[in-house]
Amino acid sequence: MKNKVARDIPDDILAATQRQVFNGVDYGHPVTQRVAPKVRATTGGDKIVASIDEVVTKTVADGMTISFHHHFREGDYVFNQVMRSIIDHGYQNLTLAPSSLTNVMNDIVVEAIQKGVVTNITSSGMRGTLGDAVSHGLLAQPVIFRSHGNRARAIEHGEIKIDVAFLGVPNADDMGNANGMDGDAAFGSLGYALIDAQYADTLVLITDTMKPYPNTPASIKQTQVDYIVKVDAVGDPEKIGSGATRFTKDPKELKIAKTVNDVIVNSAYFKDGFSFQTGSGGAALAVTRFLRQAMLDHQIKASFALGGITKPTIDLLNEGLVARVMDVQDFDKGAAASMKGNRDQQEIDASWYADPANKGAMVDKLDVAILSALEVDTHFNVNVMSGSDGIIRGAIGGHQDAAMAKLTIISAPLVRGRIATIVPDVTTVITPGDAIDVVVTEVGIAINPKRQDLIDQLSNVPGLPVYTIEALQQKAEAIVGKPKPLAFTDRVVALAEYRDGTLIDVIKAVKD
Amino acid sequence: MKNKVARDIPDDILAATQRQVFNGVDYGHPVTQRVAPKVRATTGGDKIVASIDEVVTKTVADGMTISFHHHFREGDYVFNQVMRSIIDHGYQNLTLAPSSLTNVMNDIVVEAIQKGVVTNITSSGMRGTLGDAVSHGLLAQPVIFRSHGNRARAIEHGEIKIDVAFLGVPNADDMGNANGMDGDAAFGSLGYALIDAQYADTLVLITDTMKPYPNTPASIKQTQVDYIVKVDAVGDPEKIGSGATRFTKDPKELKIAKTVNDVIVNSAYFKDGFSFQTGSGGAALAVTRFLRQAMLDHQIKASFALGGITKPTIDLLNEGLVARVMDVQDFDKGAAASMKGNRDQQEIDASWYADPANKGAMVDKLDVAILSALEVDTHFNVNVMSGSDGIIRGAIGGHQDAAMAKLTIISAPLVRGRIATIVPDVTTVITPGDAIDVVVTEVGIAINPKRQDLIDQLSNVPGLPVYTIEALQQKAEAIVGKPKPLAFTDRVVALAEYRDGTLIDVIKAVKD
């Protein structure tokens, strides 16, 4: 059955997963029944457990769904220790439901699949050896990819039922009050993990820093925590933060960043009280820098900045150019360290950030979002999941979610090396073209034809060449030529959900 | 059927309410399934409603359960406006489930009962014209009295299912982000109301102060809020705070306060890192003052202070004598105003404060609690609900909850006027004697015989006369004589639950 973005979702997949096909970005006003966890009462004397091995044997059973967060990113020491114990104990048939999988987790997940320990996975994304193995058919059941907002929605509605959450935290007390703000491995907002803490039947905290009771601010509360394990280290501080702390010096990236800024500043959304989400990486930091200057020049202040937060965004907060930072994740030490002392940097959970089924998410109030892409096609559909070789090497993250902004800008080079970014048809549709407003490249921009208002606002800006998306695609093709079509088998290895839980695309196994 | 405190709970009541009788203070480790609300999705454009009348007609239907909080205490303007609208619209057969009922709410609740608008009530307590009317049989169904922790437990398990919560807040933005810390009617912690916000199917905020979006800190979050109504005023600032801002000059109260302090200081619990809950009123402020001096003299610091918080407790926090204030409610402006700027004053909800069914409440970690009493009997059972005339004029509040402290002290005068406080049998058992450790009066103290450790610690303290509870009771009787037995009918007008949901006592209609 073809969905709204013309992707064919096999009938057997629809039947087996009881999913609907993607039918548009408007979620409407359905009334849904939330679920709630089972809770074991305790006064707390039994919470401290001596080792990860012991807590695994106390809590895990065959067939369970287990979860983790990815706030430690490439500095994570927790996931591997817990999975090692689970594999060595020989548990079988587990569903792995982390907020995302980072590269440091790849090899052990491949091992867990090979040994039958993990037989189902839902994640924001995957890369490296794991993405490669899944794309080659290692896992019998298709992986389910969900955005951060959709994961919150799925947990709140029982589509993901977490039996045991193993959450690494940089500090906790002996009852489980914990936050991400203090300790050697501090990462700031616990945004994604807060959903696990609220909905898991059993919650295990793993920390390297015990605090006196009661530990506040308590982002995770003692009322949610069953067990606490003290280990030597939960993460590598050097690898938790994003590498980028200065804005890019790459001329192409700078050009794109400046053009993104031109689009924002010349749009009707750039006015006092506007809101924005930028993102991480050197190019995003450059956008933030340009935006800062534009706000100063035009005496405009923002009501909030959203999303994964970086130090330059915190600087805007401290400078008074942004009134609030709504913080689901911090990408660097500066942003992480700032949260504790600044109540205007509000920690938000993934549901508040982006769940379409709740009573209003931050993304619903977002004016401007700047997002990246592996591919954008002439329908404005965006792929952030599969590479030009068809192999899984990406993550939805908050892409579908933040694209609910009134002005959603895709910032991408026309080509990367010998590979076009603007293509006739993306390999995998993750975010539908209906949610995308402007595509910015180093040669110029394309505006979604359904946004006549933006076409009017942006068509006569000096130094801002406006093309059709088809023209940009042809420019890319002129540089790198037509690629050979990718060869896939008929076997579906992954499902891409839209943020409302419908199927927006499937990913098939690659032909070697 | 007689329960553990020898109260006869009628079989028909047990059958009709499907309750168990109280069987002891130990809750154990049951695993229970929590419930969750129904949620109507919205992006927020439909949240602002023009008037209370309009929001009532949008949300209320016959037979529903509606809830309110009592953080505005005797300065509440919200309850009466909402109930006026509900009565005038002629809704019938509602269950009223506020966190408590203050005197300013009495007359309109009586009217609502008389008109069949309200046919069931659960509350922490009631007083005045309402308590009198209920004690005379006005309400066909028995009122259910629950402690703050038990109300949280009952809501979390669906025993109270809130259809619509009407929560007054001193500030909110147009999506519903709200806190109790700012605005003319600021009251500090939203502790009791946070449970309603989390579990109500429909949440209406009523505020007099609209804030720019996004309003932080957000104690109530936009993800929980359906409608917001702006009114002229939500409360009278002069009547929100407790009257007492200085400690008592009454010699008897001062004597009791000093004796309470002697009990604490000479107990084994008075050591670095201890924790305590005092309470409100001039006598409680005096205890806090004495305790401060004792902490300075002995160079002892507390890990946390709990409960309804007063300015003198905040002073201890600012002085470094208390490391954290865990704040479910603020009793005066000083405590309310302090929360916003001090992250060591942690807002906690009623579940975290005291729910026995969760994974550890603050009261489970409490060393010392000082509580009041209308009556204490020779079994150490405490009555805080019915007067010497048998009429309902009190509230459980956190009494049963805080009595989980390792050292629970009842502070009470031997007699009040011509009425004994220490009696052979309390009129209504609210907190069982098993949870009470020491009774302090102006003539001396009595120690629960099961606490041999405390008897050893306190028996040879200069100036601290120790009596048996029977001796105290006889001293009281020697002053005021034996009272005439109260005359009740057989009709049960109220049920007193213990904090675990079992029935600890019933209250019968008075004979006129």
| pLDDT tens digits, one per residue of B121-154 | 999 999 999 999 999 999 999 999 999 999 999 9
Distances (CA, A) of B111 to A178, B87, B88, B163, B495: 47, 8, 11, 22, 22
Could A175 and B29 be called an inter-chain contact, meaning their C-beta atoms sit closer than 8 Å? no
Mean pLDDT confidence for A28-44: 97
- Bridge-based pairing of strands A382-383 and A375-377 is antiparallel
Per-residue three-class SS string for B281-301: CHHHHHHHHHHHHHHHHHCCC
Q: Among residues A474, A488, A374, which one has the least CA distance to residue A424? A: A474
Residues of chain B with pLDDT under 70: 242-246
A237 touches chain B (CB under 8 A): no
Question: 3-state class of A161 per DSSP?
Answer: coil
Amino acid of residue B452: Q
Residue of B nearest to A26 (CA): B43
Could B41 and A344 be called an inter-chain contact, meaning their C-beta atoms sit closer than 8 Å? no
Interatomic CA distance for residues B299 and A511, integer angstroms:
74
- The size of chain A, in residues, is 512
In the block, residue with structure tokens 């590598």: A236
- pLDDT score at A241: 82
Could B343 and A346 be called an inter-chain contact, meaning their C-beta atoms sit closer than 8 Å? no
Contacts of B435 (CB under 8 A, 6+ apart): B25, B400, B403, B404, B408
Q: Which residues of chain A make contact with B307, given a CB cutoff of 8 A?
A: none
Q: Among residues A391, A378, A348, A356, which one has the least CA distance to residue A470? A: A378
Interatomic CA distance for residues B327 and B346, integer angstroms:
6
Give A216→chain B minimum CA distance, Å: 7
- pLDDT score at A247: 73
Mean pLDDT confidence for A238-264: 87
Interatomic CA distance for residues B280 and B286, integer angstroms:
10
Confidence of residue A245 (pLDDT cuts 50, 70, 90): low
Could B36 and A34 be called an inter-chain contact, meaning their C-beta atoms sit closer than 8 Å? yes
Q: Which residues of chain B make contact with A222, given a CB cutoff of 8 A?
A: 352, 359-360
Residue of A nearest to B211 (CA): A303
Per-residue three-class SS string for B152-197: HHHHHCCCCCCCEEEEEECCECCCCCECCCCCCCCCCCCCCHHHHH
Could A38 and B33 be called an inter-chain contact, meaning their C-beta atoms sit closer than 8 Å? yes
Could B365 and A304 be called an inter-chain contact, meaning their C-beta atoms sit closer than 8 Å? no
Angle at the Cα of A282 (from A278 to A288), degrees rounded to 5? 40
**Which one of A25, A27, A31, A39 would you mutate to disrupt binding with B, by most B Cβ within 10 Å of its Cβ?**
A39
Mean pLDDT confidence for A13-20: 96
DSSP string computed for A138-156: -SSSPEEE--HHHHHHHHH
Name the percent of chain B lying above pLDDT 90. 94
**Which one of A216, A274, A364 would you mutate to disrupt binding with B, by most B Cβ within 10 Å of its Cβ?**
A216
Interatomic CA distance for residues B144 and B157, integer angstroms:
16
A459 touches chain B (CB under 8 A): no
Q: Are B229 and B56 in contact (CB under 8 A)?
A: no
Question: 3-state class of B422 per DSSP?
Answer: strand
Distances (CA, A) of A11 to A2, A16, A357, A430, B430: 10, 8, 26, 20, 62
Tell me: pLDDT of A43 over 90. yes
Bridge partners, B230 (sequence order): B207
**Which one of B26, B27, B34, B39 would you mutate to disrupt binding with A, by most A Cβ within 10 Å of its Cβ?**
B39
Interatomic CA distance for residues A244 and A280, integer angstroms:
8
- pLDDT score at B504: 98
B424 touches chain A (CB under 8 A): no
Q: Which residues of chain B make contact with A324, given a CB cutoff of 8 A?
A: 214, 216
Q: Which residues of chain B make contact with A221, given a CB cutoff of 8 A?
A: 352
Give B17→chain A minimum CA distance, Å: 23
Could B359 and A34 be called an inter-chain contact, meaning their C-beta atoms sit closer than 8 Å? no
| Cβ-nearest to A212 among B42, B323, B340 | B323
| Interface contacts A/B by beta carbons within 8 Å | 171
DSSP string computed for A23-77: --S-----EEE----EEE---STT-EES-HHHHHHHH--TT-EEE---TTGGGB-
> How is residue A348 written in tokens?
């938000």
R_g (Cα) of chain B, nearest Å = 22
Q: Among residues B387, B402, B394, B389, which one has the least CA distance to residue B435? A: B402
Q: What mean pLDDT, rounded, does chain B reach?
A: 96
Q: Which residues of chain A make contact with B221, given a CB cutoff of 8 A?
A: 352
B27 touches chain A (CB under 8 A): yes
Q: What mean pLDDT, rounded, does chain A reach?
A: 96
Mean pLDDT confidence for A87-95: 98
Interface of A with B in 307-366 (CB under 8 A): 323-324, 326, 340, 343-344, 346, 351-352, 355-362, 364-365
Could A31 and B47 be called an inter-chain contact, meaning their C-beta atoms sit closer than 8 Å? no
Mean pLDDT confidence for A341-346: 91
Could B213 and A356 be called an inter-chain contact, meaning their C-beta atoms sit closer than 8 Å? no
Contacts of B478 (CB under 8 A, 6+ apart): none
Could A43 and B360 be called an inter-chain contact, meaning their C-beta atoms sit closer than 8 Å? yes
Backbone angles phi, psi at A195, to 5 degrees: -70, -45
Give A200→chain B minimum CA distance, Å: 12
Could B273 and A212 be called an inter-chain contact, meaning their C-beta atoms sit closer than 8 Å? yes
Confidence of residue A29 (pLDDT cuts 50, 70, 90): very high
Give A464→chain B minimum CA distance, Å: 32
Amino acid of residue A16: A
Interatomic CA distance for residues B506 and B144, integer angstroms:
9
> How is residue A331 written in tokens?
């990408």
Q: Which residues of chain B make contact with A216, given a CB cutoff of 8 A?
A: 324, 343-344, 346
Interface of B with A in 247-286 (CB under 8 A): 273
Residue of A nearest to B363 (CA): A43
Q: Which residues of chain B make contact with A31, given a CB cutoff of 8 A?
A: 38-41
Could B360 and A42 be called an inter-chain contact, meaning their C-beta atoms sit closer than 8 Å? yes
Q: Which residues of chain B make contact with A213, given a CB cutoff of 8 A?
A: 303-304, 365
Residue of A nearest to B224 (CA): A359
Could A216 and B361 be called an inter-chain contact, meaning their C-beta atoms sit closer than 8 Å? no
> How is residue A410 written in tokens?
């895709």
Find the DSSP H helices in A320-426. Answer: 333-339, 350-354, 399-402
pLDDT in tens, B214-258: 999 999 999 999 999 999 999 998 998 866 666 788 999 999 999
Could A214 and B365 be called an inter-chain contact, meaning their C-beta atoms sit closer than 8 Å? yes
Give B254→chain A minimum CA distance, Å: 31
Q: Which residues of B442-452 are buried (b: 16+ CB within 10 A; e: fewer)?
A: bbbbbbbeebe
pLDDT in tens, A53-64: 999 999 999 999
- pLDDT score at B245: 61
> How is residue B500 written in tokens?
């675990």
Interatomic CA distance for residues B497 and B155, integer angstroms:
14
Give B330→chain A minimum CA distance, Å: 18
Query: Mean pLDDT lowest for which of A26-35, A274-283, A480-489?
Result: A274-283
- pLDDT score at A348: 98
Question: 3-state class of B322 per DSSP?
Answer: strand
Question: 3-state class of A495 per DSSP?
Answer: strand
Interatomic CA distance for residues B502 and B357, integer angstroms:
13
Residue B340 CB: number of other CB atoms within 10 A? 16
pTM of the full structure: 0.97
A158 touches chain B (CB under 8 A): no
Could B356 and A323 be called an inter-chain contact, meaning their C-beta atoms sit closer than 8 Å? no
Q: Which residues of A56-87 are buried (b: 16+ CB within 10 A; e: fewer)?
A: beebbeeebbbbbbbbbbbbbbbbebbbbbbb
Residue B296 CB: number of other CB atoms within 10 A? 12
Name the percent of chain A lying above pLDDT 90. 94
Better-predicted residue by pLDDT, A6 or A280: A6
Q: Which residues of chain A make contact with B362, given a CB cutoff of 8 A?
A: 214
Interatomic CA distance for residues B437 and B79, integer angstroms:
38
Q: Which residues of chain B make contact with A301, given a CB cutoff of 8 A?
A: none
Report the Cα B256 to chain-centroid distance in Å: 22
pLDDT in tens, A144-186: 999 999 999 999 999 999 999 999 999 999 999 999 999 999 9
Bridge partners, A227 (sequence order): A204
Q: Which residues of chain A make contact with B44, given a CB cutoff of 8 A?
A: 359-360, 364-365
